[in-house]
Chain A
């Protein structure tokens, strides 16, 4: 399983990227408004960027892997039905709504 799934490092890097970005956004927003002062006690924790522990990261990898695999497979079905050998964006768009609802 570990071989097939995404590299946790990659996922973690992506997560980290998003988290830090959000953290920066929040800080920016917080700096402008009075939120920071109002938050008071809880700020120390809120100010820290989100983090994930190893297990959560593993799970995220697996979830993403499943999601991508499912998306590709479904899109492939559509493409196959159309007689095309290449999955295109439209194929993905067709299965996307249901796919998103399935996850």
Chain B
């Protein structure tokens, strides 16, 4: 086998053994002898499923199988027959008839396959015919015979003494035995008369019977013969009689044999059993002799009836164990019948402790005795080997193949078995041969035979066995016919005998033994640990692990890049985490910029507060006082960092509060929140998840939350530092410039606005949702957590910002007010993008302030546009954190400008408003927001003429609405903004959009006017040489505009259609989308037009326009931003910044959104709605302008009209109406600061329509989303 294993590396070797225990045994034996590597071997029995076996057939090379498995697998084809090179068949004497060996070999031979079959057996057969059959079945070509005297066997054979003990049968038994003869005789006679007993006359039969030589087998053969070929002279009626006779005979013989070999008890039980049922009972029940026999047996049993054999056996056993150590000696007692096994067992039980006996029987369950399952058998053998038992009482199952080394006594309880089985029985002993260990055991084969017939039978069988041995001699060449088999090894190769020392690894058995090992091991493990050690374990592994574990979220920054690995490579999930964290961090970067802006804004607010404090005596002292009062705590809060967040949150809250009036508004708010995350920040984000928008918002919200937290942290730190720096700067500016007053006023206004917003927010908060506050609190906590990590970077940024601010201060000599904004922008830029700010600052230095502003704005705008373009190009991912950050920063810069500007405007307006209507806080805020946006633009313009700008701005808004004013202001702005041509161009684009919107509205006149203005502005801009950057911006704007225009056109159409009531949904969507951008654009344009004087604002507008384009693309975010901006100045800025920063993600997301526009549409719609609701304010201005242009009526009239229209008009109209209302409110506030009642009414009206709008929007949005 081993040679074949070496010779045929691809060949499969099969070792077949008839039973499972044998298979297990052989695999180990083979391993230990030749050392076939265990990885190539596998044992397969019927317990393995065929599929697993098929797998093994492919992968393994040496198989230890049961013949049934082999047969089945060959038939099913899973066994790769063609690779078979060697088939070893153990216990080959079983290869008779249809046994699996035969079929398997037949199958194999039917395939033309060259293989060697090696058949092993200790007992080839008792007759020449059977041996020949085996040879035929297995295609044996050579027979090698060894007996114990041969040279190569004798080393392994040990002294084996066969002792034949004759035991005389008991008297009673003998009597019964003879009685049975009497019973049998008539039947034999009958059969003999029919000539059915095998050519033997009655006398021979009788003699045979008398000697117990006529075995049941003979009778069976006779019966078979009779059945197959009944004698022709026999009438059919006799058949039954003959059959009955045969049956009775067989039974009687059986009982008699039991009696002779095993004693009375088994015979009696057998007889009893037979008599109770079946034909035998009917046949024999009337026989008197039978009754007599039965009686006798009962009597003898009643005496105890010790069987002489049993007693002798016990004697022998006790003697054996006296000489041998009971712990190391093993005895097997064979008996043919289970009944006698039981007798033996009961007898053994009386011996005492020396003998620990167990039975070892087959699986089949008889009527009286239950069989042993294979598991039980294995367990018995296991225990027998280990020493748990030292005596096994076995039936024939124990005869074959059991390899139990220590067995040194085998007792055959009945000798009357075939020589084959005798040899097998003998084989169980004398195995203690390790080759090296030469301990000779005087093994004994003890045969207990009864006198007489049994002894004779034994002798006869021994004789026939000897005859067979003779046949075997000389390889059986003379006696048997062999089958040629091919030579497996090529003739070229002459195998040489070589003595090789094999190093064999220790055999590791599978399965069960492992368990045993472990069972032994575990207690050992227990013992190895000392008490102290186990105490330590108990100490460190608390049942309740309340210990603070390491934090997984402590260092999010470290999760944005793969950490160094030692041996374990990063998993796929880690890659996902890194990607995700990079996304989040990227957002955080951009938002950081935003946060900076916010910080700056906050600082500006602080500054404004300070200025306000300084100028408390000045205008609006009362309001200022209030503001101051509110501001002082605010300042304190600012100093505390967190308060800022709270203020913002409050502002945000105020925003949500407005919307909260209507549940639909909530959705809007949420949408806007998540879109405008920055502005609304934590609250919105927190609230978002609850909303149905969750799908869209989740990712955003998560990012937003993270970014927000970061931002807040940064903001907080920033605020402290920035506030200081800003305060210083502001103070400086205030001192230096006469215009400082304006700036101060603006600051004051900002502060007032903030205060108002804060107040409002506070009120609203009180009124409104507590949940928001809770949400805010949680974010704050997060912020705090984040603060620790981010403070360092923030501080650095702050330092940079300060430096930049200083530079900016130096550069800015002319107008510090304007400088402030640039500074802020610069600061923002520096904070966000340290690199770009320097250049910008340089530019600012070289050029005029406006130009600086312009350039700055333009550059950011360009950057934005570039970023925008890049961002989509780059993909949706924000991995390009630098780009994103820059974009976000740029964006933030522009927002900063806007913010700075806006606060001023807001301040101005807020003053009026605050003065006019403190009560109407909400509308004021909205107005302030709108005004702020416009004011921010104005503010840019304002540096030169703040008051004028503000007024013009207002006028512009109004005028823009009413073209004339806009024109007037535009020229002013043109004059002022000669440098701002680019801005104007952007504005023009915006204007065009607005014009288009207007056209859509049918306000051609206004459009024309606006166009004219735009043209003029464009001309101015063309005149201005700054156009390059601006042109780029314009281009971008134009692109944006084109988008916008496209949208606008459809929107206009849609608006018209909407008015027509056709395709409300699509129209709404388009209108919303188009309107939101359009509105925003118009707002921007309006702002721009007023801001014409202020290139900064325009640039910011251009940025906004770019933002708008982005908005148009990313409308939801932009809208939300706009909304936020409109609502609160600071939030507006933040929003804008956030928007810009968001635009980056948006841009990235834009592609996605575009792809998923259907999905996004819903979002956009929401955003649009939000934007409308919020932008509505912005739009309101435009709308109001339009409405004014259309109506050219007084604000009140327009308001009334609008209100009326609101009530009557469609949703779009309502939106417009809302816009109108806001615009009206604004107009009122701006123009005359009309009665608070109006504003109140307007406010009241506005919420209602807003609610309606929201509701309307919601329904359409849902539809659209679908």
A residues at B contact (CB < 8 Å): 7-10, 12-14, 16-18, 21, 25, 51, 53-55, 66, 69-70, 73-74, 77-78, 89-90, 92-103
Contacts and interface: CB of A to CB of B under 8 A. Distances in A.
Question: Which of A89, A90, A98 lies at the interface centre, i.e. has the most chain B CB atoms within 10 A of its CB?
Answer: A98
Given A12-B525, A13-B534, A51-B522, A103 B550 contact: no
A102 B568 contact: yes
6 tightest Cβ-Cβ pairs between the two chains A and B? A73-B566, A94-B558, A77-B564, A53-B518, A9-B525, A101-B574
Interface stretch (B537-545, B663-671, B701-709, B956-964): B537-545
A12 B522 contact: yes
Interface in B550-589: 550-555, 558-559, 562-571, 573-574, 577-578
Contact of A89 (B550, B568, B577): B550
Contacts of A93: 550-552, 554-555
A97 B541 CA distance: 22
B533 to A, nearest CB: 7
20 contacts: A9-B528, A10-B529, A12-B525, A13-B526, A17-B538, A25-B543, A54-B514, A66-B568, A74-B563, A74-B565, A90-B554, A92-B550, A93-B552, A94-B554, A94-B558, A97-B577, A101-B574, A102-B569, A102-B570, A102-B573
Given A8-B525, A66-B568, A102-B565, 7 more contacts: A13-B526, A51-B522, A92-B550, A94-B558, A97-B552, A101-B573, A102-B571
Contacts of A66: 567-568
B375 interface: no
B559 A103 contact: no
B237 to A, nearest CB: 61
A16 B537 CA distance: 10
A90 B517 CA distance: 43
A7 B564 CA distance: 28
A95 B514 contact: no
B515 interface: yes
B1028 interface: no
Nearest to B575: A101
B550 A13 contact: no
A12 B554 CA distance: 33
A95 B526 contact: no
A25 to B, nearest CB: 8
B567 A18 contact: no
B533 A96 contact: no
A25 B571 CA distance: 34
B533 A10 contact: yes
Contact of A98 (B517, B529, B538, B577): B577
A18 B574 contact: no
A100 B577 CA distance: 11
A97 B558 CA distance: 9
Nearest to B543: A21
A74 B533 contact: no
B315 interface: no
B568 A96 contact: no
A92 B553 CA distance: 12
A71 B1040 CA distance: 52
Contacts of B552: 93, 96-97, 100
Nearest to B563: A95
Contacts of B538: 17
Contact of B559 (A16, A92, A97, A102): A97
A70 B537 contact: no
B809 to A, nearest CB: 37
A69 B566 CA distance: 8
Contacts of B562: 98
B521 interface: yes
Contacts of B543: 21, 25
Contact of A70 (B518, B522, B553, B568): B568
B578 A54 contact: no
Interface string B510-523: 00001101100110
Contact of B563 (A12, A16, A78): A78
A67 to B, nearest CB: 8
Interface string B328-360: 000000000000000000000000000000000
Contacts of A103: 568, 571
Interface in B135-151: none
Given A98-B577, A101-B577, A102-B570, A18 B555 contact: no
A102 B574 contact: yes
A54 B541 contact: no
Contacts of B551: 93
Contacts of A100: 552
A70 B566 contact: yes
A2 B569 CA distance: 23
A14 to B, nearest CB: 6
Contacts of B528: 7, 9
Contacts of B541: 14, 17-18, 21
Question: Which of A12, A51, A55 lies at the interface centre, i.e. has the most chain B CB atoms within 10 A of its CB?
Answer: A12
Question: Which of B515, B550, B573 lies at the interface centre, i.e. has the most chain A CB atoms within 10 A of its CB?
Answer: B550
A9 B529 contact: yes
B745 to A, nearest CB: 49
Contacts of A53: 514-515, 518
A16 B564 CA distance: 34
B679 to A, nearest CB: 31
Contacts of A51: 522
Interface in B420-462: none
Contacts of A98: 559, 562-563, 570, 574, 577-578
Contacts of B577: 97-98, 101
A11 B541 CA distance: 12
Contacts of B578: 98
Contacts of B524: 9
Nearest to B569: A102
A71 B197 CA distance: 90
B4 to A, nearest CB: 32
Contacts of A10: 529, 533, 537
A90 B533 CA distance: 28
A74 B561 CA distance: 13
Contacts of B563: 74, 77-78, 94-95, 98-99
A74 B573 CA distance: 18
A93 B788 CA distance: 15
Contacts of A17: 534, 537-538, 541
A86 B1043 CA distance: 59
Nearest to B534: A13
A101 B525 contact: no
A18 to B, nearest CB: 6
Nearest to B577: A101
A13 B522 CA distance: 9
Contact of A54 (B517, B533, B570): B517
Contacts of B567: 66, 69-70, 73
B7 to A, nearest CB: 34
Question: Which of A8, A66, A97 lies at the interface centre, i.e. has the most chain B CB atoms within 10 A of its CB?
Answer: A97
Contact of A74 (B521, B559, B564): B564
Nearest to B571: A102
Contacts of A77: 563-564
A73 B517 CA distance: 36
Contacts of A12: 522, 525
A28 to B, nearest CB: 11
Contacts of A96: 550, 552
A58 to B, nearest CB: 10
A100 to B, nearest CB: 7
Contacts of B573: 101-102
A95 B558 contact: yes
Nearest to B565: A74
Interface string B1057-1075: 0000000000000000000
Contacts of B529: 9-10, 13
Question: Which of B525, B562, B571 lies at the interface centre, i.e. has the most chain A CB atoms within 10 A of its CB?
Answer: B525
Contacts of B571: 101-103
A8 B577 CA distance: 34
